[in-house]
Amino acid sequence: MEPLTMEPSRKSSSRRSNARRSSARIHDLAITILEDGTIDMMPAVDMDPAAAVYFEKGAEVLLGKEIPVTTPPPAKDPPKSTKSTRSDKSRLAVLLKEQDWFSIYKRFAAISFLTNVVLFSVAVSGHWPCARDNAALLSLANVVVLSLCRNEVFLRMVFWLTVLLFGHSWVPLRLKLWITHALQNLGGIHAGCGVASLLWAVYALAWLAEHIHRVPKSSVAILSVVFVLLLICCLAACPLVRHVHHNVFENAHRLCGWAALGLIWAFIVISATYDPFTGDFYTNGDRIVRRVDIWFAAGLTVVIFLPWTLIRRVPVRASSPDESVSLITFPDGLPVGVLGRIARNPLKEWHAFGIGSDGFSKNIMICGAVGDFTKRLVTHPPTHLWTRTVRFAGVAYLANMYKRAVFVGTGSGLGPFLSFIMQPSKVDVHLIWIAKDIPKAYGRKITKILDRYPQEKLIVHDTAFMGRPNLVKLVVDRVRECGAEMVIVTSNPAGSKKVIDGCAEAGIPAYGPIWDS
Q: Which CATH class is domain 309-393?
A: mainly beta
Predicted TM-score (pTM) of the model is 0.80
Identify the pLDDT of residue 100: 66
- List the end-to-end C-alpha distance of the chain, in Å, as a whole number: 36
Distance, in Å, from the CA atom of 172 to the CA atom of 166, rounded to the nearest integer, reads 9
Distance, in Å, from the CA atom of 305 to the CA atom of 342, rounded to the nearest integer, reads 17
Indicate if 402-511 has the same CATH topology as 309-393: no
Distance, in Å, from the CA atom of 352 to the CA atom of 391, rounded to the nearest integer, reads 10
Q: Taking the domains of the chain in order of start, what are their residue ranges? A: 5-63, 105-149+186-304, 309-393, 402-511
Alpha carbons within 13 angstroms on the beta-carbon side of residue 37 total 6
Q: What is the mean pLDDT of each run of 10 residues along the chain (517 residues)?
A: 38 36 39 40 43 41 36 42 42 55 88 97 91 93 96 95 96 96 94 96 94 88 96 91 83 93 94 78 77 94 94 93 90 92 90 90 89 90 93 94 96 93 94 93 91 94 92 96 96 90 95 76
Task: Give yes or no for a contact between 95 and 239, defined as CB atoms under 8 angstroms apart.
Answer: yes
**Beta bridge pairs of residue 459:** 432
Identify the pLDDT of residue 69: 37
Choices 3.30.420.40, 3.40.50.80, 3.20.20.140, 3.40.50.620: CATH for 402-511: 3.40.50.80
